[in-house]
């Protein structure tokens, strides 16, 4: 698709994600999905699976699951995780889990990996992983209590970079939008090549 009509996306695409952040990131650059479908897949980690391999596999599985139900459509899927070395930061559903995540991230650098996958109407699959590095200050009890009281940790892996935790981030190397949930630049480049 050429530059003049790329932003119109007349052919449209399906966003295979229920993430509010991903939708907002796309809409911020005027890319509005024609449909949003939340894929239902098993996101369990394989034994000894490395973070980059995991996040790429999950993004592909999400895209394939939606493509199966919507053949002939362009599908965009993504998955984001945090990792300290080989250790994944899991989604927190209780305050105790959130505190454990914050203690693991405190005073350390960690990686935020986002896998993206696009399936073209012809079935061509393009996928890649974007990796950013985030350095967080050493958190004391007051910091942790402030973050916990925000309730922004609920149901997310570690934190929301666009929320209160941004006050404790010392340095970011990589894509800010990827940390939020979708590497916008890379996503646009892939869509340009398909649409």
Alpha-helical runs (H) found in the chain = 3-6, 20-28, 51-69, 95-105, 141-150, 176-180, 184-194
In tens digits, what is the pLDDT along the chain, a chain of 195 residues? 444 445 555 458 999 998 999 999 999 998 889 999 999 999 988 988 999 999 999 999 999 999 999 999 999 999 999 999 888 888 889 999 999 999 999 999 999 999 999 999 999 999 999 999 999 999 999 999 999 999 999 888 778 899 999 999 999 999 999 999 999 999 998 888 776
Name the residue ranges covered by the structural domains of the chain: 3-194
Rg, Å, the chain Cα set: 17
Check if the beta carbon of residue 195 is closer than 8 Å to that of residue 74. yes
- Give me the active site residues, please: 79
CA 126 – CA 192 distance, rounded (Å): 12
Q: Which CATH number is associated with domain 3-194?
A: 3.90.950.10
């Amino acid at each position: 698709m050429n530059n003049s009509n790329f932003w119109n996306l007349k052919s449209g695409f399906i966003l295979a994600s229920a993430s509010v952040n991903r939708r907002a990131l796309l809409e911020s650059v005027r890319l509005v999905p024609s449909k949003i479908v939340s894929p239902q897949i098993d996101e369990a980690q394989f034994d000894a699976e490395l973070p980059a391999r995991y996040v790429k596999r999950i993004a592909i599985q999400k895209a394939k699951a939606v493509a199966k139900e919507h053949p002939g459509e362009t599908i965009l899927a993504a998955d984001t995780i945090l990792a300290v070395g080989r250790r994944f930061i899991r989604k927190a559903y209780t305050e105790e889990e959130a505190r454990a995540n914050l203690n693991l991230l405190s005073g350390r650098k960690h990686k935020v990996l986002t896998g993206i996958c696009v399936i073209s109407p012809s079935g061509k699959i393009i996928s890649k992983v974007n990796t950013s590095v985030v350095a967080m200050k050493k958190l004391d009890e007051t910091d942790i209590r402030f973050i916990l009281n925000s309730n922004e940790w609920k149901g997310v892996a570690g934190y929301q970079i666009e929320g209160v935790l941004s006050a404790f981030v010392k340095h970011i190397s990589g894509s800010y939008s990827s940390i939020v949930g979708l590497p916008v630049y890379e996503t646009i480049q892939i869509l340009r090549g398909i649409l």
